[in-house]
């Protein structure tokens, strides 16, 4: 959380400057004011940061479709999301993240329970950027939607065959052109039921076209983050279950890989960590 660390440092400097420059160090009891100055300065910086996000979004054209992910906008989205996760007091347990492919773009597939799922993925995987294939409504959100659009996130309309095909092609090109890795939730929507929905085989065309590794992951308990905030901590588990290289799946159909991935994740979700 780069911006959090910067704000902490600036707040500490500001509080100490106020303490010493105003001569309060001459009175021992004034030392208790330092935490007050610190939190006040942090709050002011947080407000400035949020205003910066809002003002910049005002000048972004929501109709523009970037040809590739913009590192600046992606970085702001990622760091802001991680900061939000920090505020929710969420503790993430990482399992098998050492299996993440190194120095190669890939496609991540996982179950989908909450809007926090992509944020957990940002936190646990080192690849940068990881662009999500998402529903168009996300890109239409006030303020954040424009940042998400310029970050390279790809909207997909599953009921629009032509647009869905274009979205899959764009995602595959991101990988082939070494611009970004791709995250997709093959269930097609958030699923609040215990049993997973069937995976859409078409999602896996991204991997076939780009000949990239498929990173199969499971994410547990993200649906409780919102419920527990602000009074309880939430423990979330993120696990890489398997990494399929192109040689492992090239002779299988998309339906076979979709079923294999779903079954693998579904079985892991039944295990209590």
Q: What is the mean pLDDT of residues 139-146?
A: 85
Q: Is the pLDDT of residue 273 over 70?
A: no
End-to-end CA distance of the chain: 27
Q: What is the per-residue pLDDT across 159-193, written as a single tens digit (0 to 9) for each?
A: 787 888 899 999 999 999 999 999 999 988 777 76
**The model scores a pTM over 0.85:** yes
| Closest by CA position to 205, among listed 134, 151, 144, 255 | 255
Q: Is the pLDDT of residue 104 over 90?
A: yes
| Per-residue pLDDT at 158 | 75
| Per-residue pLDDT at 236 | 95
CA distance 182 to 138: 16
Q: What is the mean pLDDT of residues 139-143?
A: 84
CA distance 184 to 110: 7
Q: What is the per-residue pLDDT across 237-249, written as a single tens digit (0 to 9) for each?
A: 999 999 999 999 9
């Amino acid at each position: 959380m780069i911006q959090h660390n910067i704000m902490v440092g600036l707040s500490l400097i500001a509080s100490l400057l106020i303490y010493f420059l105003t001569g309060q160090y001459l009175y021992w009891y004034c030392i208790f004011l330092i935490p007050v100055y610190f939190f006040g300065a942090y709050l002011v910086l947080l407000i400035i940061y949020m205003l910066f996000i809002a003002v910049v979004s005002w000048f972004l054209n929501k109709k523009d479709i970037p040809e590739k992910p913009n590192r600046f906008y992606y970085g702001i989205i990622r760091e802001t999301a991680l900061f939000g996760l920090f505020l929710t007091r969420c503790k993430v347990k990482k399992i098998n993240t050492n299996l993440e492919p190194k120095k190669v773009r890939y496609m991540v597939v996982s179950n989908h329970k909450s809007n926090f799922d992509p944020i957990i993925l940002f936190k646990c995987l080192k690849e940068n950027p990881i662009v999500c294939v998402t529903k168009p409504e996300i890109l239409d959100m006030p303020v954040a939607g424009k940042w998400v659009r310029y970050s390279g996130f790809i909207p997909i309309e599953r009921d629009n065959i032509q647009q869905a095909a274009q979205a899959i092609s764009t995602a595959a090109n991101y990988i082939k052109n070494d611009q970004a890795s791709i995250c997709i939730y093959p269930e097609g929507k958030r699923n609040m039921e215990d049993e997973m929905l069937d995976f859409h085989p078409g999602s896996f065309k991204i991997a076939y076209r780009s000949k990239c590794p498929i990173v199969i992951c499971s994410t547990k308990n993200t649906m409780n983050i919102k419920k527990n905030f602000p009074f309880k901590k939430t423990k979330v588990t993120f696990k890489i279950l398997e990494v399929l290289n192109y040689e492992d799946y090239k002779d299988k159909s998309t339906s076979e890989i979709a079923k294999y991935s779903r079954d693998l994740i579904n079985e892991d979700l039944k295990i209590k960590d």
